[in-house]
Structure 1
Amino acid sequence: MQDKGILDLRNLPNDEFEELWKRIVLPDNIKTQLQAQVLLELTLRTQITSKAAVPLHGIILLVGPPGTGKTSIAKGVASAAVSALNNAKVKFIEVEPHNLSSSALGKSQREIRRFLEDVITEHAKQGPLIVLLDEVETLVSDRSKMSMEANPVDVHRATDAMLAGLDNLAARFPQLLFIATSNFEGALDPAFISRADLVLRIDKPTREACEEILKDTLTAFSEKWKEIKKLMTDPKFQKVVEEAEGLDGRQIRKAVIGALTLSIDTVLNPNLLTNQMLLKSLKQAKTIKL
């Protein structure tokens, strides 16, 4: 039976994750640096003997606003890096952080310690392992900002347990890598951030990236509905790209889907989609403030 702290468990490389990596729109230098960092953690780190001179903790941290693809990036780069290692097999675990935190006094601390010492340790003993810590602020909240709404002592101890556990695992398993994501960089404990071997900010896409995301989404539709391909060569398409600026990648892709729903006829026949409909859907996306 799978532990409640594990949301997903699979082997890498993985076709689904590889597809995510291909679809992710990031500057080439950022994708290269990120993949190289994962490779370094899985290879060179095992050969370094002086931990004091080369302090690698086996943590990569991705921060940025919601919808910018941090989780997809984490999964994608994990698989892409393993693919670059000929015939390598690496296990992948996605952690369910909310199952490790609790309002009961002392329970979060105990659950975190148990999960790291028992579950992660057991998998790490079997070979190279990449662990995704999504919404990591749930587990390593900034101890200096604890309010009385939560139990500050309990949250403090939970963060202590997480940091101590990560240090212990880093010392014992040089082929164990944590990739953490957070929408709230300011909520993270500075001691956790300082442990990260690489911190990358994933911001909303540039105009060029917006265009690439739009084209990627429309191209996926055009594989079945050929007329959609013509939208991308229409001069009006640049107005669509301009309207997409300021949205995150997830919002842009969902706005393309939303454009189809502006007409029942278009849902029944996506070939009827127009740039005007895309423009309207993107404008609607900008009016939604949560």
Structure 2
Amino acid sequence: MLRSAATRQDDETFLPKGIHRSRRLPDEQLGALWDSIVLDEKLKIQLLSQAALNFTLRGKVERTVLPLHGVILLVGPPGTGKTSLARGLAHRVAKLFPAGGFKLLEVEPHTLTSSAHGKTQRAVSELFSQSIAETASGGPTIVLLDEVETLAADRTKLSLEANPVDVHRATDAVLVQLDTLAERHPNLLFVATSNFPQAVDSAFTSRCDLVLQIPLPDRDACARILADCLAGLARTYPAVGGLVSSPDFARCAAECVGLDGRAIRKMVANALAASPQVAMDPGTVSSSDLLAAAKAAKANRAIGSAKA
């Protein structure tokens, strides 16, 4: 029986515990995510090259020569596009190996935690040793570990009185499984993300083949994100496209410095709600609406930072 395109692309009918999504690669939707993340091209090339090396080298060179674990960690402030970048990376890597038969597994770490004694450790061990290992046995596999500090918490900062011993054991289980999988499955790559790298156990970080800092966008990047957002809106509201050539555009982009990419796009949405009139006809949004929204977003970010 022929399966629908959606079924062929996403294998989500019977997902094991801890797996949020299983997706066949390449996937052009994920490629669009890669393109949407405004980041220094050198960083993108470094990331893609490290991921590609995982699949060309690890099966041919002894780990005593190069102790690669097949783990990449993306760290940086929330909203900088780490998760989207990881998903897009999976697509781009698969495109480099046309006959590879790649799959992407997305782990949902919060479904693995339990207050019951021993259950978190068992759930983590089963996820890695069974679900992930079985997929890797069937072909090249990329695993997204979002918010990895949930699974690999820094044990030196945990109190055994305040934190259940399972939190410690879960981190132990992750480390043991990473070592085992690195030995048995050179066609497996983990891409982890964290907003709080200081909360990630140092033993996990030491196993990473690359730790890449995803920074907040600089002025040029802010301008590119803002222009891309306005261009997208212009497909529905053509008049919005003219704002990119407005004298206030550069001022607005400069005002966005300090915001993450997600916040910049939300700021544009706030500008579209500048008044009931604009909200009813978004194509009438003005450059002054954008500038005011950017200043408000920047002020709110400053207040949030001060509270932190």
Where on the TM-score scale, by shorter chain, does this alignment land: which range?
over 0.9
Q: Read off the aligned partner of 1:124 and give its amino acid letter.
A: A
- C-alpha distance in structure 2 between counterparts of 1:267 and 1:89, whole Å: 46
Q: Which has the larger displacement, 125-134 or 227-236?
A: 227-236
Question: How far does the alpha carbon of each residue in 1:204-252 deviate from its partner, in whole angstroms, 9 at most, with x for none?
Answer: 1111110010001001011222111111111111110111111001000
1:178 aligns to what SS in structure 2?
strand
Give the match for residue 228 of structure 1.
Answer: 240
Q: Which has the larger displacement, 223-232 or 133-142?
A: 223-232
Give the match for residue 255 of structure 1.
Answer: 267
Give the match for residue 188 of structure 1.
Answer: 200
Deviation at 1:44, TM superposition (A): 1.9
Give the match for residue 55 of structure 1.
Answer: 67
> How many residue pairs get matched?
288
- C-alpha distance in structure 1 between counterparts of 2:214 and 2:182, whole Å: 25
- C-alpha distance in structure 1 between counterparts of 2:272 and 2:193, whole Å: 32
Does residue 5 (structure 1) correspond to residue 18 (structure 2)? The answer is yes
Does residue 23 (structure 1) correspond to residue 40 (structure 2)? The answer is no
Q: Which has the larger displacement, 173-182 or 224-233?
A: 224-233
1:9 aligns to what SS in structure 2?
strand
- C-alpha distance in structure 1 between counterparts of 2:169 and 2:66, whole Å: 28
Deviation at 1:86, TM superposition (A): 2.6
Q: Read off the aligned partner of 1:129 and give its amino acid letter.
A: T
| Identity value in percent | 48
Q: 1:237 to 1:86 in 2, by over 3 A?
A: same
Q: Read off the aligned partner of 2:49 and give its amino acid letter.
A: A
Give the match for residue 287 of structure 2.
Answer: 275
- C-alpha distance in structure 1 between counterparts of 2:196 and 2:35, whole Å: 26
- C-alpha distance in structure 1 between counterparts of 2:84 and 2:70, whole Å: 19
Give the match for residue 149 of structure 1.
Answer: 162
Give the match for residue 52 of structure 2.
Answer: 39
Give the match for residue 219 of structure 2.
Answer: 207
Q: Which has the larger displacement, 96-105 or 26-35?
A: 96-105
Give the match for residue 197 of structure 1.
Answer: 209
Question: How far does the alpha carbon of each residue in 1:93-113 deviate from its partner, in whole angstroms, 9 at most, with x for none?
Answer: 000000111222211111111
Q: Is the 8 A contact 2:217 2:261 kept in 1?
A: yes
- C-alpha distance in structure 2 between counterparts of 1:66 and 1:236, whole Å: 27
1:46 aligns to what SS in structure 2?
coil
Match of 1:118 among 107, 112, 130: 130
Deviation at 1:125, TM superposition (A): 0.9
Deviation at 1:139, TM superposition (A): 0.4
Does residue 175 (structure 1) correspond to residue 205 (structure 2)? The answer is no
Deviation at 1:283, TM superposition (A): 2.0
Does residue 99 (structure 1) correspond to residue 111 (structure 2)? The answer is yes
Deviation at 1:158, TM superposition (A): 1.1
Deviation at 1:4, TM superposition (A): 2.5
Deviation at 1:154, TM superposition (A): 2.2
Deviation at 1:32, TM superposition (A): 0.5
- C-alpha distance in structure 2 between counterparts of 1:127 and 1:77, whole Å: 17
Q: Is the 8 A contact 2:216 2:261 kept in 1?
A: yes
Runs of 4+ in 1 over 4 A off after TM superposition: none
Within 5 Å, which residues of 2 pair with 1:120-135? 120-135=132-147
Match of 2:84 among 59, 72, 81: 72
- C-alpha distance in structure 1 between counterparts of 2:102 and 2:116, whole Å: 35
- C-alpha distance in structure 1 between counterparts of 2:210 and 2:229, whole Å: 30
Deviation at 1:155, TM superposition (A): 1.7
Q: Read off the aligned partner of 2:53 and give its amino acid letter.
A: L
Deviation at 1:74, TM superposition (A): 0.4
Q: Which has the larger displacement, 279-288 or 6-15?
A: 279-288
TM-score, length basis structure 2: 0.91
- C-alpha distance in structure 1 between counterparts of 2:173 and 2:17, whole Å: 18
- C-alpha distance in structure 1 between counterparts of 2:77 and 2:182, whole Å: 28
- C-alpha distance in structure 2 between counterparts of 1:281 and 1:24, whole Å: 22
Q: Read off the aligned partner of 1:107 and give its amino acid letter.
A: K
- C-alpha distance in structure 2 between counterparts of 1:282 and 1:189, whole Å: 37
Deviation at 1:64, TM superposition (A): 0.9
Q: Which has the larger displacement, 78-87 or 17-26?
A: 78-87
